Structure 1
Amino acid sequence: MYYLSNCTKVLFMFLFFSLSSIIVAQDKPEVTMGGALRFNYNSSSWKGNQTERGGDFGFDVFRVNAKAAYKGLKLNAEYRFYSSGFGGGMLKQGWIQYDFKDNSQFQLGLTQVPFGITTYNSNSWFFSLNYYVGLEDDHDMGLKYSRSNDKWDLDLAFFKNAEENSFGNLSDVDDSRYAYDVGSLGDGTYRNKELNQFNAKVNYKFGKTLKSKLGASAQYGALLNLDTEDIGNRNAFAVHYEATYNKWNLKAQFTSYNYNPEAPDGESEDMIAMTAYGAPYLVASKATLYTIGLNHTFPVEWGPVSSVMVYNDFGYMNKNLDEFEDTMMNDFGFLLTAGSVYTYIDFAAGKNQPWLGNEWTNGLASGNPDAEWEMRFNINIGYYF
């Protein structure tokens, strides 16, 4: 069950030889390096001692970006260094790319999954609820073809698996990763892995004064249980709309997902484990999410500050089991731009949201019927170079 199917082998061989046959010469390599250093302050309502001492201010992340082009091929890579408590070092993205003459491109490696509004279905530092269930800004290992013109955007992709840091026979998914993937809870339960995922996404673009994108995304893949060694399946579907008018921007998305694990006896199939940043939690196997985000950018002249973007992101997660408590999240905030320094100021509130309250393990799964709205005041300051 772990080997590539004949169909997958043929796909890899076809793409390899097709790409090899169209590479054109480029005399000199081009390399661009960049990165960012970010610090974070936060004060959380559910952390009594923290609020009494006025919150905490510390290191967030140091990242390195590299872009290169040589002989018709391009490289894009980003490696991040977080503190050990947030997973340590991890590759956020990294792919080899070839651009065709018809405004299409091919990417191979750890590339962004074409699902929903991309690059982000949100405005804030916290992203939307989709991110916390692995359906926003996710990157997996595979192949992606993209094509764009004045009216249409099309993405087709195949992902062999999520980031694989251990090549053992039945090894658990590594918790150190940037975006959420199916994994293990950490106590020997809910041990699953993503396999052989297919994605398709299309956007129709229209309007001149009110520029709009109306699209749909579909995802289907296998789900290997590491205990039973049986393969289940998973799917997700989304309809999304994005509009821009003058300095206003609107993002709205409907998302539905369904995981069908082949769990061992005594383990619920109504939940799966997902993991990122060194800490896994449980997520409902079936849910529908509704997200909407609105922002407006104001040009200003406040010393080095040249613009302020005001935004609000709201998300609601309706879990398919009546006995599971739904999850909600709202983030009102500002993005201040001052040259190469970007500062997010967020007033983020959540109910049964792991990152916004003390319901960590079960917040996105069964939830807590007695959970209350909790709030986190957060300031993230980043210098990008």
Structure 2
Amino acid sequence: MIALRLSYFSFLVSFLVTSLTTLNAQDTPNLELGGALRFNYNLSTWKDGQIDRGGDFGYDIFRVNAKAAYKGVKLNAEYRLYSEDFGGGMLKEGWVEYDFDEKNNIQIGLTQVPFGITQYNSHNWFFSINYYVGLEDDHDMGIKYTHMSKNFDFAVAFFKNAEEYRFGSFSDHSDSRYSYDLASKDLDGDGVLDFRNKEVNQLNAQFLYKRSLGRFDHKIGISLQGGGVYNLDTKDTGWHYAFAPHYEMIFERLDLIFQISHYKISPEAPEGEQENIVAMTAYGFPYFVTSNATTYTVGISYDFPIDWGPISGIQVYNDFGYMDKSFDDFSDTFMNVTGALVTAGNVYTYIDFATGQHMPWLNDDFNNSLAEGSIAGDQWQLRFNINFGYYFSSGSILSKESIRREKEKRDQE
């Protein structure tokens, strides 16, 4: 199996290199820089101090985006700088891309995993439950081929591992990351990390059928995922898999999405370590997650065109998610977000009312909400959240060398 995966990876790399040397593309380098500065206000019902103060308003993120292209080879990268408590600086995504034509392309690097409804299986600022178990807007290190046509899209990918910042023989994952991935976490407070797992050699396939019937656009898809789980203590490799049927319907300004996702994670863990939970991490802090569950997510949104001064549009939405954990003594997770996205020039503002049960970020028990749950998660809690940011872009910037070459070409003509 390992040899097959390596041969598959070698074939894709060879295919890319051959194509780059035989196909012609533009000769003028160009660069586009952009980014965003965002701030966040939140008021949470389980935080007494916040209630006394009337909520907290502060820094969320500064990010920088870069896109470049030369001779058909493209770059797309995004670096984010959060506060120290939320993980600090991290590369959200970054890949090198080649477009063979308008329908086919290949990406190498830290690229989005083709799983479920992409780019997002949600409309709100919080995403859906799937994001918090690594099944929405996940980015891993590998190679991905995508084909897009009128009625069919499909993507196949091989990911060597999740984003890696440490290269020791048995280094634990860094907690400073955007996507939730398998990681390590101290269970009993003795200062020694437990549940020390890493995702390795993952294969993905995503198929999408698109059909327009009158004013209705339909997208029906299936996503498959499977790979290894390397345990840093036993040095043995277990396995994990996930699959998801999904559907999206667009009718004029109305958008409806629905997805059922099932996953199972089975590491070769040390004797005595719990098999029904694993550790995942992102934003500077790991937590425990059930190793086997099915999630159900449904979302709806409607766009209102607005002409109120700088405000050009308001999208209202509701996203609901339910996690059915496969262990009878575990408490299931619920999450619902009702809100609106307000667009005013380059400023985008999410206004969300998020409520949930046994959901991280929505109760006092961050560690166990997605695992067995706790008394703290039994009560439904509410978080009122406003996130607004200014998004900017430089447009296309030509390099000085390319400008010189263009001038020489014009002079010669």
TM-score range, shorter chain: over 0.9
Contact conserved, 1:262 with 1:269, CA < 8 A, in 2?
A: no
Partner SS state of residue 135, structure 2: coil
8 Å contact kept, 1:23–1:73: no
The structure 2 residue matched to 1:216, chosen from 182, 197, 222, is: 222
Question: Are 1:259 and 2:265 counterparts?
Answer: yes
Deviation for aligned residue 1:101: 2.0
Within-5 A mapping of 1:237-256: 237-256=243-262
> Structure 2 CA distance, aligned partners of 1:364 and 1:351?
10
Match of 2:233 in 1: 227
CA contact (8 A) 1:80 1:89 kept: yes
Moved more, 101-110 or 141-150: 101-110
The question of 1:179 aligning with 2:185 is answered: no
Inter-CA distance 166–8: structure 2 relative to 1 (3 Å threshold) = farther
Q: Distance in 1 between matches of 2:184 and 2:4?
A: 23
Matches for 1:65-144 after TM superposition, within 5 Å: 65-101=65-101, 103-144=103-144
How many angstroms does 1:359 deviate by?
1.7
Deviation at 1:9, TM superposition (A): 6.0
Q: Give, in whole Å, the separation in 1 of the partners of 2:25 and 2:307.
A: 46
Superposition pairs for residues 218-367 of structure 1, below 5 Å?
218-367=224-373
Q: Which residue in 2 is equivalent to 1:53? A: 53
Query: TM-score w.r.t. structure 1 length?
Result: 0.97
Task: Find the residue that maps to 2:22 and give its secondary structure.
Answer: coil
Superposition map of 1:154-169 within 5 A: 154-169=154-169
Pairing partner for 1:382 from 389, 395, 402: 389
Q: 1:210 to 1:12 in 2, by over 3 A?
A: closer
> Given residue 376 of structure 1, which amino acid in structure 2 is its aligned partner?
R
1:23 deviates by: 4.1
Residue aligned with 1:46, SS:
coil
Alpha-carbon distance change, 183 to 2 in structure 1, aligned in 2, over 3 angstroms: farther
2:166 is paired with a residue whose SS is: coil
Deviations 1:67-97 (A, max 9, x none): 0000110100000000000000000000000
Aligned to 2:405: none
C-alpha separation in 2, matches of 1:7 and 1:106: 17
For the 8 Å contact 2:9–2:158, the answer to whether it is kept is no
For 2:101 and 2:31, how far apart are their aligned partners in 1? Answer: 22
Give the structure with the higher percent helix.
Answer: 2
Question: CA 1:21–1:86 in structure 2 vs 1: closer, same or farther (change >3 Å)?
Answer: same
Distance in 2, matches of 1:102 and 1:313, equals 33
Aligned to 1:191: 196
Other structure's SS at 1:332 match:
strand
Query: SS of the residue aligned with 2:142?
Result: strand
Question: Is the alpha carbon distance of 1:64 and 1:223 closer, same or farther for their aligned partners in structure 2, counting shifts above 3 Å?
Answer: same
Q: CA deviation at 1:22?
A: 3.2
> How far off is 1:5 after superposition?
6.7
Please provide the CA RMSD for this pair.
1.7
Structure 1 residues 81 and 14, CA gap change in structure 2 (3 angstroms)? same
Structure 2: stretches of 5+ with no match in the other structure: 187-191, 393-413
Once residues 295 and 100 of structure 1 are traced to their aligned partners in structure 2, the CA distance between those partners, rounded to angstroms, is 35
Runs of 4+ with >4 A deviation: 1-6
Matching of residue 372 in structure 1 with residue 379 in structure 2: yes
Q: Deviations over 1:143-197 (max 9, x none)?
A: 0000011100000000000000000100001100011011011441111000000
1:298 and 1:39 map into 2 onto residues whose CA distance is 24
Structure-2-length-normalised TM-score: 0.90
Contact 1:144 / 1:155 at 8 angstroms: preserved in 2? Answer: yes
* Counterparts of 2:3 and 2:88, CA distance in 1: 31
Q: How many residues align?
A: 385
- Unaligned 5+ residue runs, structure 1? none
Give how far 1:19 is off: 3.4
Letter in 2 for 1:380: N
SS of alignment partner, residue 131 of structure 2:
helix
1:210 maps to amino acid: F
Aligned position for 2:398: none
Deviation at 1:323, TM superposition (A): 0.5
